[in-house]
Structure 1
Amino acid sequence: FARVQRCLLGVADVHIRQRQSLAVTFASNSMSVTLPGGPVLATTFRYRQTRLWGASPVVATWQLVMAGALQAIGLALVGLAGALLVGAETNPFSLIFTFGGLCAFLVVAQYAASRPDALEGVGITALRGFNALRKKPPLTGVRQWKHIVNQMSAVRMDRRDTARAFGWSLFNWIADAACLAFACYAVGAHPGFAGLAVAYAAGNAARSAIPLLPAGLGVMDAVLVPALTASGMTGA
């Protein structure tokens, strides 16, 4: 995840060392899993650190949004792979739709980062329509929008950068799922790969749904335990 952070900041000309990125990742993760409302505090902490490294408010926010999108796509891909391999009785099209929607968002975001001039025109057109609905002057908010686009012009993210960031994000999920697999093996259980992937993805999705709980305590367990039991483990 530290590599993802470095990659996303690097395309905006905010260059940091791996040690710096890793330190912030460890600190934010420790907040996320130990404090009530930890995920919210961790996001705020990462934003402030990114600003201290020299990122503008727009670039700092863009980096957090893109990192979150990459994580969501990777998790959806892990869950989808598990569902297809296990021969899920439920229709996997909802997962496919979610994965496709996230990928579409990533493509649009990458295009906007590489073509800020096009983003400016689209935004001005949308503002004019919105102002017409509110019965405001047509140019209301245009200056602020141009200021945001000017900050976004520092981001030059091509397909290679997108692929590299997504690769590190997906590797992060796979390595994390492997930790769960090794924990199962350590107690003598041998769940199938497909069932393990589904259980892991479902547990993390449940954890993300309620960010006020540290590490999704209680919510993640309530999903993970039955899912692992269905994959072949005993309840104990």
Structure 2
Amino acid sequence: MDALVPALAALLGLLVGSFLNVVIHRVPRAESLLRPGSHCPACSAPVRPWQNVPVLSWLALRGRCAACREPISVRYPLVELATALLFAAVAARLGATPELPAYLYLAAVAVALAMIDLDVQRLPNAIVLPSYAVGALLLLPAALAGPGWTAALRGLAAMAALYAFYFALAWFYPGGMGFGDVKLAGLLGLYLGWLGWSAVVIGTFAAFLLGGIAGVTLLATGRAGRKTALPFGPAMLAGALLALFAAGPIAAWYGALLLPSA
């Protein structure tokens, strides 16, 4: 049973990852997610069901459109694999708990928003804002279980705190922080606050640490200049996921440094 939940989550992640490829491509362009159906961007030939099996179809077609033989980006199967692995990791971390659907949704949103922010340096309201309601509804069953009400109230408090913190950063330093990041911060606060205040602190600190490392790396390799605008959403999402998996061990390690045992 312990291995079954991550395995099922991985299969679900493959399917969700296939849909996320559509989201990543169409949402920034304000296109419908339903119509037209999946098609080749080069020749507009419709993608048949057997050609739309996550990862396997790309391998079977050798990375080319079945109709016009134009190359299909390797990013499509990579998004599907990344979503599957992330779903499996989240399921292994949480198990078959009432919170699991909420954090699987967060994982899916993280993949979509990170890719879109890297592509167009924008975190679309069409994804971020509805995710507040979806996240709250998915966490509701866990809150109704009893002790979850404490976590729910902490999540709401952390949501307000992170939103206010990022809002202040965007207000006083508009060149370094966008209001898309502010809206995302509140959503991440809801999820991190549910886990605990240590997760909030670690997830926030990790975002700035990872963002700084990415910025320095790009500067050192000449891929960005001092005035280059860099998306911060991926770092925020990576920091939140790091806190999900490792907030407890990191907090314990840091506590041991501050208060070493005799």
TM-score normalised by structure 1 residue count:
0.34
Higher helix share: 1
